[in-house]
A = this chain, B = another copy of it.
Amino acid sequence: MAKTSQAAGLHRASLAKLHDLDAALELMYYGWRGMTLEADDYLAKQGLSRPHHRILYVVARRPDIAIGALIEILGISKQALNRPLNLLLERKLLTSKRSPEQHRSKLLRLTDAGKRIEQRASDHERKVLRAAFDRAGAPGAAAWMAVMGAIADNN
């Protein structure tokens, strides 16, 4: 796994603004990085990375999810899922059991160790968001959510 850290900093570059929305555009870039920086650092120390976290995050919120459903949510191929998923199983951060009746699908679930790592990694991200929301106040946070929703739902 790569050294995703980069020493945690990498000051925002100051570039001339050619358009009125350039500042916003760059904020999206640096915002993503600001949110994920510490989490990626923590994950790297565990020998994990973002794809592993994505799996842990989804399984945490959908216990007993089948592999096919996980593939669909993550939007990657089963071959791409294979490697990180197996690592998580080997490390016993996830368990897979065959469903009692639907014996052809496997149901994924976090172990306690898996839950701990998922929570700590996500906590790093939530901590950053919480600090920003606290500074902005509830109305600011609500506005942020509304704008992000509109951006996310662009199709």
* A-to-B contact residues, CB < 8 Å: 6, 8-10, 12-13, 15-19, 21-25, 27-28, 30-35, 37-38, 57-58, 60-62, 73, 75, 122, 125-126, 128-133, 135-136, 139-141, 143-155
Contacts and interface: CB of A to CB of B under 8 A. Distances in A.
A28 B122 contact: no
Contact of A143 (B15, B28, B57, B144): B144
A-B complex: 10 closest residue pairs judged by Cβ atoms: A132-B150, A30-B152, A143-B143, A15-B61, A27-B148, A144-B147, A140-B143, A21-B126, A13-B73, A34-B152
Nearest to A36: B28
Contacts of A139: 143
Contacts of A122: 19, 22, 25
Given A24-B145, A133-B147, A145-B24, A58 B154 contact: no
A27 B154 CA distance: 12
Given A10-B75, A35-B28, A73-B13, A144 B148 contact: yes
